[in-house]
A = this chain, B = another copy of it.
Amino acid sequence: MDTSLDMKSSGMKNKRPTLQDVANLVGVTKMTVSRFLKNSDQVSPPLRIKIKEALDDLGYIPNRAPDILSKSKSHAIGVLLPSLTNHVFAEVIRGVESILEPAGYQTMLAHYGYSQEAEESRIATLLSYNVDGLIISESYHTERVRKMLSVAGIPVIEIMDSTSPPIEQAIGIDNQAAAYAMTECMIKKGHTKIVYFAARMDQRTLLRLQGYKAAMHDNGLTEMCISTDSASSFSLGEQFMKEALEKQPDTDGIFCTNDDLAIGALFACQKAGIKVPEEMGIAGFHGHDIARVMVPLLATVITPREEIGRLAAEHLLSRLKGNPVTEKVINLPFKIEPGESI
């Protein structure tokens, strides 16, 4: 018996009870209580009852901190995304959690608002909590980020795009091919003066823009792009639509880097009395739920967002079990949904 035990059981601050507190109450060492919690078979039946009572009585809450410190196993996975409010990433998160949560892993979410500087700092923060693995997005990372990831010695999976060479493993879609396919689809439907709407010029938007440009070029059509660095929104789509009609009054098609812009553009047409798709074809990207109920149904590229999250989590868990990377790049299929708006 060391004297500090008496200190703890006496007055003091009302600090959260530790295994030692429980052990004191029962009259055993904390090791015995620890055994009870991990595998009660190792403890004699009479003690089991007393320990259970003491745990309930004190309201003992397990503490991961010592484990994290001594084994560097936090059972937490860091997920770093550009934005948390964007519904696309919200669905990725849902996919990730649907796998991690039943596996007993806690998700630590962070976002960096498309800033590389913020990305560095968020990754350092996640690593400072000893996350067991990381799911990150984008594919361009600073040297410091790459160094941190390599030094950390934990599995890393990059998600959303499947074209750039991954650090270790990437899961996503071919954004450029998807944009090419949708643009071609619009062209086949008879649209020729197609304008591309882009917000937040991140890597994936740029890849889609390239796909659009390639398709226009291959069909002998002239490209035109309206873009901004600020965040995308429904009202931005409305605003861009007006801008497009001013700059190029005979515009007959709009391809947007996401559904938010497309929906905004579509409503702008409705307000202006422009018939969709007769006078104006409009297509979005990602397959927002609303696109599947609205009138007219929005043409969009349906992307497997939730599956990207699920797969990323599954592959991460597999690697945490010690399995090697089997496929460096997992390229998931997208689907062109013509809807009624092109």
Contact assessment for A152 and B238 in the assembled complex, using a CB-CB cutoff below 8 Å: no
Q: Tell me if A87 counts as interface (CB < 8 A to partner B).
A: yes
Q: How many copies does the complex hold?
A: 2
Which stretch in A183-191, A193-201, A287-295 binds the other chain?
A: A287-295
**For A63, what are the chain B residues with a Cβ–Cβ distance below 8 Å?**
128, 130
**Which of B65, B152, B264 contacts A68, CB < 8 Å?**
B65
Contact assessment for B234 and A64 in the assembled complex, using a CB-CB cutoff below 8 Å: no
Q: Tell me if A54 counts as interface (CB < 8 A to partner B).
A: no
Nearest to A127 among chain B residues (CB) is B61
Given contacts A16-B72, A69-B69, 17 further A-B contacts (CB under 8 A): A16-B151, A58-B151, A59-B150, A61-B128, A61-B152, A63-B130, A64-B129, A64-B130, A65-B65, A65-B129, A85-B87, A106-B110, A106-B125, A108-B109, A234-B293, A260-B289, A290-B290
Nearest to A112 among chain B residues (CB) is B101
Contact assessment for A148 and B59 in the assembled complex, using a CB-CB cutoff below 8 Å: yes
**For A210, what are the chain B residues with a Cβ–Cβ distance below 8 Å?**
none
Contact assessment for B129 and A76 in the assembled complex, using a CB-CB cutoff below 8 Å: yes
Interface residues of A, CB < 8 Å — how many? Answer: 63
Contact assessment for A16 and B290 in the assembled complex, using a CB-CB cutoff below 8 Å: no
Which stretch in A91-99, A212-220, A312-320 binds the other chain?
A: A91-99
Nearest to A154 among chain B residues (CB) is B16
Q: Tell me if A111 counts as interface (CB < 8 A to partner B).
A: yes
Q: Tell me if A10 counts as interface (CB < 8 A to partner B).
A: no
CB of A241 to closest CB in B, whole Å: 11
Q: Give bound CA distance, A106 to B148, whole Å.
A: 18
Q: Tell me if A334 counts as interface (CB < 8 A to partner B).
A: no
